[in-house]
Amino acid sequence: MKKHLLGTICLSVVLGLAATAAQAEQVKLGIAAEPYPPFTSPDASGNWQGWEIDFAKAVCEEAELDCVVTPVAWDGIIPALTSNKIDMIVGSMSITPERQQTIDFSDKYYNTPTIVIGAKDLEFEATPEGLSDKTLGVQVATIHQVYANKHFAPAGATIREYQTQDEANNDLAAGRLDAVQADSIALKAFLKTEAGQACCEEKGVVAADVEVLGPGVGIGLRKGDTELKEKLNAAIKEVRANGTYAEISKKYFDFDPWGN
Amino acid sequence: MSAVASATAAPDQAPTRRLQTHRVILVLVALALIGMAIAFGRWDWLPRYGPRLWSGLLMTLAMLAGSACLGFLLAVPLGLVQVTGPVWLKVPAQAFCTVIRGTPLLLQLWLLYYGLGSLFPSIPEIRTSFLWPYLREAWPYGLAALTISFAAYEGEVMRGAFAGVPAGELQAARAFGMSRGQTLRRIWLPRALHRALPTLSGETVLQLKSTPLVATITVVDLYGVISRVRQETYLVYEPLLLLAAIYMILTAILVLVFRFFENRIPTRGH
Amino acid sequence: MIDWSLLALDPPGWGGVLLQGLFATLQIAIGGYLLGAVIGIFGALGKLYGGPVTRDLMEVYTTIVRAVPELILILILYYAGTDLLNQLLGLVGWGPVDISGLAAGIFVIGVVQGAYSTEVIRGAIKAIPPGQLEAARAFGFSPATVLRRITIPAMLPYAIPGLANLWLIATKDTALLAVVGFSELTLVTRQAAGTTKSYMLFFLAAGALYLAVTLISNAVIGMVERRSRRGFARPG
């Protein structure tokens, strides 16, 4: 038996790779592997849930796609898409001209203003002057990172960049940040938590910059994946029209996240 | 770890160092590959990020030098008490080395930064203390985690080094009438340090390879800057390949520097 | 103050998720370790008996892996490795295959481990008394038989301490896959901690799990070492 050890190991490795290669024709729905409530967050049974997960499932069902939720690291989610590890990004990713040079987007499926929240014991506004002597936390590879570095950093703000939004919020609660910039829905959800209520409050909406902030959130797709794009666009339209969208939103929000 | 450390130290010298035909061809192939990477890759971002890469490099080196020096200072007593200390020092030192060596550095880093850090706001004394401006920053946590890790691995090496000093030398020192402190200072410690030196090169290279982890807690080191490049340019490979090349150069410099010092320290006998 | 019920095995406790993460960690560690050992055997043979080109290529491989941080190797291999494989398969006409995160993780850890295994096994093979190999060849054993019957069994006692060390490193290196978003123990711990805001509790719990793996491994390694040393002269 011992002498076959080597052969057995080789064979099992090859078989293992082959077995995982066997299933095809599934669409891998990439999400960020981090808690981003209320859009995506893991639950105690190891599943992912939230508004965006429900929405994605509804769209997949409408488009008759066999979608598999595949968590990947947010800061590598675009490389994961372009190197075929996932087939679409449903991760609250804003449609921006910058990203459109590399990937394609479906039509937008929600849009929220960008806000800044900060410690209660500090008085300031969400302007370059207000943040000039503050430490501002943003998540890496987001429109907020780009925006903060373009508008707030030149005025003197210190920008700290976090791998996940959750960790930025955590550091704000821990007093290691003065402010955090992100989507209003995600931040307002944080402000409603115990830690958020204790430490922080909304400081205001940031000034518009469509070039950076984009017209809303879309599903990220590989360039040239037009068939999938058309299917998804039709499905988003249908889900929005037939009331599924409103139904899902009611579960999580008291407003319509579609935006304008 | 010691096996890896010694494996990292120095490859066997090949018997012939002549320039052989196949080697020339391999070098040409390598140059061609590098040439292709330069010609077909996108490198226009490089000048824009030059200054930031430089400050990232300095941060990486500061993390490496700081944690290696502090860690080594901690490792000496850690090794010593494991060999000769009283039980109440020996057991905690052993436990410390086992726990740190038995868990991933990434986890320790996150435990320190996000775990301990999230406890601080509940203690008002800390927020009003003079330490708070430092505790708000990320680098002290990174430095602490790297230092602890280096101390645990090198502490294990020092334990072996202290235990390995021949008992006869220590007895001779006592016979000359040296006190315990003098024996330690004049004989035991220098001999143990001498024995531990060859492993230091390997351990320091391993430490260099651990430093990029601090980028996960918002310290902007070399890896952090490259991550930024990756996110802003959406390039998958070029920044990572550059980063790999930089670390290879750093490793080579480290190994050469250590070899230089090792050659200057006379080794006779043993 | 500490809510231990968060660690309960069934939801709403996160204990089950942590154990799933531990299972994924062990799968990758075992798979990567074995793949690394196979690479190590061929790498060592290549370095010892291969032609000059093979030797130099092996040297390049082990040098690069030992000089570049694991985190960066993992990122490069995770994205580039599977991408290249798919492009190669595309050239052959097999079309893109779906490489699971698990397979990619095993591949990545295996390639990193392989470089260290190569060095450990090469050292062990060099420690075999040359007479044993010469005797086998004198009996007319083919090179493959020598490898199977003599080289591998005879080098194992010399290789075990180094290989045991590599196993411990493999279990800890899997944590780096958290950075590419693979749901192993460290990442699920981070997610659980972030969702529940009990950072200390979960990081300590995960630390305890890793430590348990190390301590159990140490006990098993001790037994294996004693067994493999039977018949050897006691040192000292």
Chain B window 230-259: which residues touch C at a Cβ cutoff of 8 Å?
236-237, 240-241, 243-244, 247-248, 251-252
Q: What domains are defined for chain A?
A: 25-111+215-252 (3.40.190.10), 114-213 (3.40.190.10)
Q: Which residues in chain A have Cβ-Cβ distances shorter than 8 Å to B223?
A: none
CA end-to-end distance (rounded Å), chain C: 54
Query: What global pTM score does this model have?
Result: 0.89
Q: How far is residue A187's CA from residue C198's CA, in Å, rounded to a whole number?
A: 19
The answer to whether the Cβ–Cβ distance between B4 and C73 falls below 8 Å is no
Does residue C1 lie in a domain region?
Answer: no
Which pLDDT does position B267 carry in this prediction? 64
**In-domain check, residue B229:** no
Which residues fall within 8 angstroms of residue B11, CB to CB, at 6 or more apart? C59, C62, C63
Chain A residues in contact with B134 (beta carbon < 8 A):
none
What does the pLDDT look like over A64-114, one tens digit per residue?
999 999 999 998 899 889 888 899 999 999 999 999 999 999 999 999 999
The answer as to whether B246 is a domain residue is no
The reply to whether B150 falls in a domain is: yes
Whether chain A has a CB inside 8 Å of the CB on C102: the answer is yes
Check whether B237 has a pLDDT greater than 90: no
Residue C111 lies in a domain: yes
Domain annotation covers residue C168: yes
User: Which residues in chain C are closer than 8 Å to B240, comparing Cβ atoms?
Assistant: 72, 75-76, 79
C-alpha distance from A146 to closest chain B C-alpha (Å)? 8
Work out the mean pLDDT of chain C and round it to a whole number: 89
CB distance C66 to C116 below 8 Å: yes
CB contact (8 A) between residue B3 and residue C165: yes
Q: Which residue of A has its CA nearest to B227?
A: A75
B166: in domain: yes
Contacts of A83 in chain C (CB under 8 A): 79-80, 82-83
Query: Using the beta-carbon criterion (under 8 Å), do C82 and A85 form an inter-chain contact?
Result: yes
Band (A25; pLDDT cuts 50, 70, 90): low
Q: What is the pLDDT of residues B143-200, one digit of tens each?
A: 999 999 999 999 999 999 999 999 999 999 999 999 989 999 999 999 999 888 888 8
- Tell if the CB–CB gap between C175 and B107 is shorter than 8 Å: yes
Strand partners, A41: A49
Residue C13 located in a structural domain: no
- How many independent structural domains does chain B possess? 1
Residue C9 lies in a domain: no
Search chain C and give the residue with CA nearest A17: C103
Find, in chain B, the residue whose alpha carbon is nearest to that of A163.
Answer: B216
- Residue C156 near chain B (CB below 8 Å): no
- Examine residue C233 and state whether it is found in any structural domain, yes or no: no
Partners of B223 on chain C (C-beta within 8 Å) are 69, 71-72
Question: Does the beta-carbon distance from C66 to B213 stay under 8 Å?
Answer: no
* Contacts with B142 from chain A: Cβ below 8 Å: none
pLDDT digits (tens, 9 = 90+) for C22-45: 999 999 999 999 999 999 999 999
Summarised one tens digit per residue, pLDDT across range B29-72 is 989 988 988 888 889 999 999 999 999 999 999 999 999 999 99
pLDDT of residue B233: 87
- The model's pLDDT over C69-92, given as tens digits with 9 standing for 90+, comes to 999 998 888 887 777 777 788 787
Instruction: Say if B16 falls within a structural domain.
Output: no
Q: Measure CB to CB from residue C194 to each of A21, A35, A46 and give the nearest one.
A: A35
Give ipTM to 2 decimals: 0.89
Considering only alpha carbons, which residue of chain C is nearest residue A16? C103
Question: Average pLDDT for residues C143-152, to the nearest whole number?
Answer: 89
Q: Is C195 helix (H, G, I), strand (E, B) or coil?
A: helix
**pLDDT classification of C235: cutoffs 50, 70, 90:** low
Query: Tens digits of per-residue pLDDT, B8-32?
Result: 444 444 555 556 788 888 889 989 9
Q: Which chains touch C (3 or more CB pairs under 8 A)?
A: A, B
CATH number for the domain that contains residue B67: 1.10.3720.10
Q: Where are the beta strands (DSSP E) in A126-235?
A: 135-139, 158-162, 179-183, 200-205, 217-221
Q: How many domains does chain C have?
A: 1
Q: How far apart are CA A21 and CA C100, in angstroms?
A: 7
Domain presence at residue B237: no
Average pLDDT of chain A to the nearest whole number? 89
CATH of the domain at C149: 1.10.3720.10
pLDDT in tens, A206-255: 999 999 999 999 999 999 999 999 999 999 999 999 999 999 999 999 99
pLDDT digits (tens, 9 = 90+) for A178-216: 999 999 999 999 999 988 999 999 999 999 999 999 999
The CA-to-CA distance between both ends of chain A, in Å, stands at: 69
Using an 8 Å CB-CB cutoff, list chain A residues near B224.
161
Residue-range definition of the domain harbouring residue B169: 61-214
Q: Which domain holds residue C224?
A: 18-228
Supply A141's token pair. 């590879």
Contact A68, A27 (CB under 8 A): yes
Residue closest to B9 by CA, chosen among B264, B190, B254, B210? B254
- Residue C176: band (very low, low, confident or very high) from pLDDT cuts 50, 70, 90: very high
Parallel, antiparallel or unpaired: strands A27-32 and A67-72: parallel
Residue C62 near chain B (CB below 8 Å): yes
Q: Which residue of C has its CA nearest to B96?
A: C211
Determine the pLDDT at residue B6.
42
